[in-house]
């Protein structure tokens, strides 16, 4: 892959063989931003588990203290009073069967998160094959299947993110924007890592945190020392 002059200059600030403490890593993330836009800072966490086994799944949600810096569009499947609650809480789209039809017929995906009341999961299940691959299927573990619709919407708007393993046993999540600065990014990152560590499956053997890498959208990856996350 060809890299631009600015990227190459910024990449020289990073020692690829060094495992940085959290504060140093985040300072480098801010310093190695390349783009003119406000880049997203991402965490990539490889775990010592096997996602093929149900008892080694790692999935959940956590509210980042400073949010992600991104405007999240929420679609809610609900009816009656619950639909009203969703609208009052700030959901961007609220409905039932008509939303399923819109997604099926128009290939409409102008939303980032889907929330549903339990009684609507039969309806949502009709489009599970298209929501699932996009990571949009509501799930009780992530708090997106709930009767407390207002709380779910408010938390997501406030910066709640979902984390889950991919097939390579890696979690990829945004932890904020470069403009947040190292201190706010640190608080978000430590909140995320605390949740991931707490979610360690009892069936997991050996080293749980295999590798942790931080990077902004266009910048180089910076390795964080997994045994010194809080430093």
CA–CA dist 8, 3 (Å, integer): 7
Q: What tokens does 146 get?
A: 């709930």
CA–CA dist 200, 37 (Å, integer): 36
Q: What tokens does 182 get?
A: 């190292």
Give tens-digit pLDDT for 150-206. Answer: 999 999 998 898 899 998 999 999 999 999 999 999 999 999 999 999 999 999 889
The pLDDT score that the predictor gives to residue 226 is 93
Beta strands in the chain (DSSP E): 40-47, 59-63, 74-77, 93-95, 113-116, 160-164, 170-177, 209-216, 222-224
Model confidence at 1: pLDDT above 70: no
CA–CA dist 31, 56 (Å, integer): 36
Average pLDDT over residues 214-229: 91
The pLDDT score that the predictor gives to residue 82 is 97
Sorting pLDDT into bands at 50, 70 and 90, what band is 218?
Answer: confident
Average pLDDT over residues 37-55: 93
Sorting pLDDT into bands at 50, 70 and 90, what band is 2?
Answer: low
Give tens-digit pLDDT for 88-125. Answer: 999 999 999 999 999 999 999 999 999 999 999 999 99
DSSP 56-92: G--EEEEE-TT--SSPPPEEEE--HHHHHHHHHHT-S
Check: CB of residue 166 under 8 Å from CB of residue 52. Answer: no
For the chain, the average pLDDT equals 92
Query: Comparing 92 with 9, which gets the higher pLDDT?
Result: 92
Give tens-digit pLDDT for 59-71. Answer: 888 999 999 998 8
């Amino acid at each position: 892959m060809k890299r631009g002059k600015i990227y190459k200059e910024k990449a020289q600030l990073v020692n690829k063989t060094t495992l940085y403490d959290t504060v140093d890593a985040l300072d480098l993330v801010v310093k190695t931003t390349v783009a003119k836009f406000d880049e997203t800072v991402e965490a990539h966490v490889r775990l010592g588990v096997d996602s093929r086994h149900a008892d080694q799944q790692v999935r959940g949600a956590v509210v980042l203290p400073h949010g992600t810096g991104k405007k999240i569009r929420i679609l809610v499947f609900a009816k009656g009073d619950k639909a009203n609650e969703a609208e009052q809480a700030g959901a961007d789209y609220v409905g039932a069967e008509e939303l399923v039809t819109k997604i099926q017929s128009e290939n409409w995906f102008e939303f980032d998160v889907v929330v549903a009341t339990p009684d609507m999961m039969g309806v949502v299940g009709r489009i599970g094959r298209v929501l699932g691959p996009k990571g949009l299927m509501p799930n009780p573990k992530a708090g997106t299947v709930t009767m407390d619709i207002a709380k779910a919407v408010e938390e997501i708007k406030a910066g709640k993110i979902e984390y889950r393993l991919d097939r390579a046993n890696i979690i990829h999540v945004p932890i904020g924007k470069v403009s947040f600065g190292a201190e706010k990014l640190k608080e978000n990152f430590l909140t995320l890592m605390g949740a991931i560590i707490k979610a360690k499956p009892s069936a997991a053997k050996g080293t749980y945190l295999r590798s942790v890498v931080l990077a902004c959208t266009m910048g180089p990856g910076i390795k964080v020392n997994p045994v010194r996350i809080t430093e």
